[in-house]
């Protein structure tokens, strides 16, 4: 084997041996934060698809290249509110996002927001398990999140904070 082939084989072994970084199975922003995108699309463009740079500025006073906007746009998509991210030309309202921002009354809006929250599988399953945002002590919550829901330990605190904030909202 030539010297260059040995380097390639060694590099592949190193990459293959490294543990995979756990994937966050929920948006790392709250529903309240994510709703700013569909609200901006409704108020600034009457609900029509909008250029990503304009959405970022209208909703958060950010540039569309800002990492914070990346997570906010991804959260809006993950909650089922929008279609598109900072990597698309435009962001548009998803059907659920339209139903929220064009709701006829507060009760309908609230129901659709709940639907949006529960569209995130792990939020729905944890809520069904506990029946609310009243969690047990941190140690026991961590055990349940890991064993029952397969949530990596590094996400436990963040998950609990986002979940509680969503329930409060």
Whether the pLDDT of residue 5 is over 90: the answer is no
Whether the pLDDT of residue 4 is over 90: the answer is no
Q: pLDDT tens for residues 66-125?
A: 999 999 999 999 999 999 998 999 999 999 999 999 999 999 999 999 999 999 999 999
Specify the pairing of strand 50-51 against strand 82-83.
Answer: unpaired
Give residue 18's pLDDT: 55
Residue 103: helix, strand or coil by DSSP?
Answer: coil
Residue 28: helix, strand or coil by DSSP?
Answer: coil
Look-up of token digits 């698309």: 88
The more confidently predicted of residues 18 and 19 is 19
Torsion-angle region of 134 (φ positive above 0: left; ψ -120 to 50: alpha; else: beta): beta
Q: Measured between alpha carbons, how far is 100 from 82 in angstroms, rounded to an integer?
A: 11
CA torsion sign for 38, 42, 47, 50 is: negative
The more confidently predicted of residues 21 and 98 is 98
Q: Measured between alpha carbons, how far is 87 from 100 in angstroms, rounded to an integer?
A: 24
């Amino acid at each position: 084997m030539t010297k260059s082939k040995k380097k390639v084989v060694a590099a592949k072994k190193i990459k293959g041996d490294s543990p995979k970084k756990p994937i966050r199975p929920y948006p790392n922003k709250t529903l309240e934060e994510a709703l700013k995108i569909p609200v901006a699309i409704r108020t600034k463009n009457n609900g029509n698809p909008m250029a990503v740079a304009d959405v970022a500025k209208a909703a958060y006073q950010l540039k569309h290249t800002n990492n914070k906007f990346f997570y906010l746009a991804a959260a809006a998509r993950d909650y089922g509110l929008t279609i598109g991210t900072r990597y698309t030309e435009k962001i548009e309202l998803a059907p659920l996002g339209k139903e929220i921002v064009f709701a006829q009354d507060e009760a309908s809006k609230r129901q659709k927001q709940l639907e949006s929250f529960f569209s995130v599988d792990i939020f729905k399953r944890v809520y069904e398990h506990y029946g609310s945002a009243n969690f047990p002590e941190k140690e026991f919550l961590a055990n349940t999140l890991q064993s029952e829901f397969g949530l990596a330990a590094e996400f436990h605190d963040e998950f609990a904070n986002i979940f509680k904030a969503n329930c409060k909202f």
